[in-house]
Structure 1
């Protein structure tokens, strides 16, 4: 699962060895630091997502519930533009929006919208 939020951009996947755990991964450390204590973050030099945290599914569910409760903006991209900490991702978030908008336009026809 990819999550683009005001805390940053993370990829969340099943831990490859621990059934009740997830790996929350990021390309930049600050995206995990906004969610977890810095001491929990580990680094893998040759990985696609170099920064990672092991977290239980329950703990991550609670983090996501709190993120949802903290939504206080009517437009995500405008909020990111005004926010200092993650505003450097505005172009990337626009690219994600544009790509998915184009995907929807190409796939939307008649009653299959």
Structure 2
């Protein structure tokens, strides 16, 4: 699962060996730091996602649920443009939006 939020862009996948755990990955360390300030962030520079955090599925649900409850904007891209430590992702988020727009037009 990919999540693009005011806290950044993360990927969440099942832990290979522990079914009650998920691996949250980010390409930019600050994206995990904002969500998991007290968790160990593992650097994996050889991987496509250079930073990782392992947490229980329950903890992941808690974090994601809080993000949903904290939504305070009617337009996501406009909100990102106003957040100093996330504004640098605006072009990338526009690109994602455009790719999915084109995908939908071809369905």
TM-score, L = length of structure 2: 0.96
- Which whole-Å CA distance do the structure 2 matches of 1:56 and 1:20 have between them? 6
Q: Is the Cα contact below 8 Å between 2:39 and 2:53 reproduced in 1?
A: no
Q: Give structure 2 stretches of 5+ with no counterpart.
A: none
- Which whole-Å CA distance do the structure 2 matches of 1:70 and 1:48 have between them? 29
Displacement over 4 Å in runs of 4+: none
Deviations 1:59-113 (A, max 9, x none): 0001111000000000000000111110000000000000001100111xxxxxx
- Which whole-Å CA distance do the structure 2 matches of 1:31 and 1:16 have between them? 23
Corresponding residue of 2:104:
104
| Larger Rg, first or second structure (1 or 2) | 1
The alpha-carbon distance between structure 1 residues 34 and 15, as it changes in their structure 2 partners (threshold 3 A), is: same
1:1-113 → structure 2 map (5 Å cutoff): 1-37=1-37, 39-107=39-107
The alpha-carbon distance between structure 1 residues 39 and 60, as it changes in their structure 2 partners (threshold 3 A), is: closer
Corresponding residue of 1:110:
none
- Which whole-Å CA distance do the structure 1 matches of 2:3 and 2:37 have between them? 19
Count of matched residue positions in the alignment of Structure 1 and Structure 2: 107
Q: Give structure 1 stretches of 5+ with no counterpart.
A: 108-113
**Over aligned residues, Cα RMSD in angstroms?**
0.9
